[in-house]
Structure 1
């Protein structure tokens, strides 16, 4: 017995080589969905309609048993699939059901391959996802991670509109171009971008897929300040560090960190590892008479801070490009210190901060790993043993945001962190 798994596109017979057509002609049974079988309606070969895969495989095995009983010869089965049988298709199921020596694959160009070629964009680094109930979380994580190229095989339950709804609900720092490719390889082929926030105004062919590509930041230096809340600016209004979005400080975490800082007017504040500047912007808007030093070691991060300050018309943030703790000795004495990310030299940084901090000051550190948490706790406990005027407390933060996809509402977790607040006890005297 031989099962030939033949990939076929919307161009039908025209897209098959002569050798593959000859394979079909000598077949004893054609298996496929109604569209693929329709390309061979002129053939007199018996046909098995593929609806439910489990039922079809059961019928196929029964057919094979009957054939061998009646003819006692090895039949050739032709299994028609779309595109590449081993790319999110039935080829993998057949490979698990039948011995390798009984299977021969004849791949056609896949719809995803064709879509990227239509866009003239390399796709070896693309994240490919077949969207169903099990893979929604995979897409959500890819979007949160800022994956630069995402190819999505849509489904009836998860059409382009559902994907756009998910993107909008996640309030992402990265802006994506939203491409929909329809009827690839067919007469009614269409590949074009659509505005994510107006996707419900469009109708798409059932045969479609979605490609998400990185978009250039909007060339807008300012936003309409009248429409922005006093606290908790939406993440998508910031030019973000899309290379490492997991290191940015999301809106909910900013609100909690600002509360832990206990800011007051006319203070000097250090914001360390400050890119893309979202915390500095929030502090500067709340206390325009305070001075915030936004310290960042990378040139690209410093540029993002300055872009966001211009965008929100901030005048009281001073962007500092330099390494901590060395650069800290050149800055004005702080009343408050915020550290949004932690380095392995955290004890050294905290040591410098504690020396430079004004009496009654406060340090707030966001710790994203157990290792950094342990480093910080070791340092602060030693500090308290040697200087009784210090105290600390921890806030463990686990936040999830709801989002809708299709008719479902799910929760997407924001990376869990621990907020360490270190304070001088004279603050309360």
Structure 2
């Protein structure tokens, strides 16, 4: 029988947001792959593990070798379907060999914290990536949900959006450390954010002013 790669979303951080199915799979795993923080939180005795770092080809090679022995459980933050190792796994292994267990993404949690529906939102990532220019243009009723990093933060993103037709009084919500005890959500405007200290490594949600009137 061919062993499987089980890609498990572990949520935004706090184990309270880990789905019971995902927790059971991780607890029963004999081979675990994940970020160092995930391994520190969820690894257990007797498990063989591999940390995900900059050497993605090395991680994929480990998984290929380990599949000869057992199923491999790959833990990814948030949901596997949104900018995770799943893309690389799909390019490397047969789709039929991959099973995915969804997780709660930081974007989902950010929208939930604001009691804001996200079915019409444009979901983007500035986390080491560059969205298309067309994705940044303001349209009536626009809602953007964005992952950020240290270079692309609340200040730099505000400046860019204003250059694409967004208005200074459009709302920006800067969400950091979501799900943790020191979680912080700052409500501001694009005009204020462009002149303030940039905050990154989190989720930013931007709404046209009409959304909140």
Alignment of 1:205-354 (within 5 A): 206=201, 208-216=202-210
CA RMSD of aligned residues (A): 2.7
Displacement of 1:89: 2.2
1:160 aligned residue (154, 161, 164): 154
Q: 2:27 is matched with which residue: 22, 25, 28?
A: 25
Partner SS, residue 181 of structure 1: strand
Residue 30 of structure 1: CA displacement? 1.1
Query: What does 1:30-429 correspond to in 2, within 5 Å?
Result: 30-52=32-54, 53-61=56-64, 63-64=65-66, 68=68, 73=69, 75-131=70-126, 135-136=130-131, 138=132, 140-146=133-139, 148-170=142-164, 172=166, 175-199=169-193, 201-202=196-197, 204=199, 206=201, 208-216=202-210
Structure 1, residues 108-132: CA drift from partner, whole Å, max 9, x if none? 1111111111111111111111126
User: Could you give the per-residue CA deviations for residues 312-358 of structure 1, whole angstroms, max 9, x where no partner exists?
Assistant: xxxxxxxxxxxxxxxxxxxxxxxxxxxxxxxxxxxxxxxxxxxxxxx
CA distance in 2, matches of 1:198, 1:43: 50
Superposed CA offset, 1:89-115 (max 9, x none): 222332232222221111111111111
Unaligned segments of structure 1, at least 5 residues:
218-429
Q: State the distance in 2 between where 1:179 and 1:94 align.
A: 33
SS in structure 2 of the partner of residue 39 of structure 1: helix
SS at match of 1:88: coil
TM-score normalised over the length of structure 1: 0.43
The whole-number CA distance in structure 1 between the counterparts of 2:103 and 2:128 is: 27
SS at match of 1:36: helix
User: What's the offset of the Cα at 1:190?
Assistant: 1.7
Q: Which has the larger radius of gyration?
A: 1
Mean alpha-carbon deviation: is it higher for 82-91 or for 13-22?
13-22
Partner residue in 2 for 1:374: none
Paired residues, number: 206
Between the aligned partners of 2:156 and 2:45, the Cα distance in structure 1 is 40
Contact 1:176 1:213 in 2 (8 A): yes
Q: Is 2:148–2:200's contact at 8 Å kept on the other side of the alignment?
A: no
| CA distance in structure 1 between the aligned counterparts of 2:198 and 2:163, rounded to whole angstroms | 21
Pair 28,202 (structure 1): closer, same or farther in 2 beyond 3 Å: same
- CA gap of 1:47–1:214, structure 2 versus 1, over 3 A, is same
Deviation at 1:174, TM superposition (A): 7.6
Contact 2:8–2:101 at 8 Å: present in 1 too?
yes
User: Whose relative contact order is higher, 1 or 2, with alpha carbons under 8 Å and at least 6 apart?
Assistant: 2
**Between 88-97 and 127-136, the greater mean CA deviation after superposition:** 127-136
Q: CA deviation at 1:41?
A: 4.4
1:7-61 CA-partner distances (Å, limit 9, x unpaired): 1124443333444333223322111111211212444412111012233223332
**Greater share of helix residues, 1 or 2?**
1
Distance 1:124 1:109, change over 3 A: same
The normalised TM-score by structure 2 is: 0.82
CA contact (8 A) 1:160 1:209 kept: no
The answer to whether the 8 A contact 2:155-2:199 is kept is no
User: Displacement, 1:170?
Assistant: 4.4
- Call closer, same or farther: CA 1:203–1:131 in 2, change over 3 Å: closer
User: 5+ unaligned residues in a row in structure 2: which ranges?
Assistant: none
- Structure 1 residue matching 2:42: 3-state secondary structure: coil
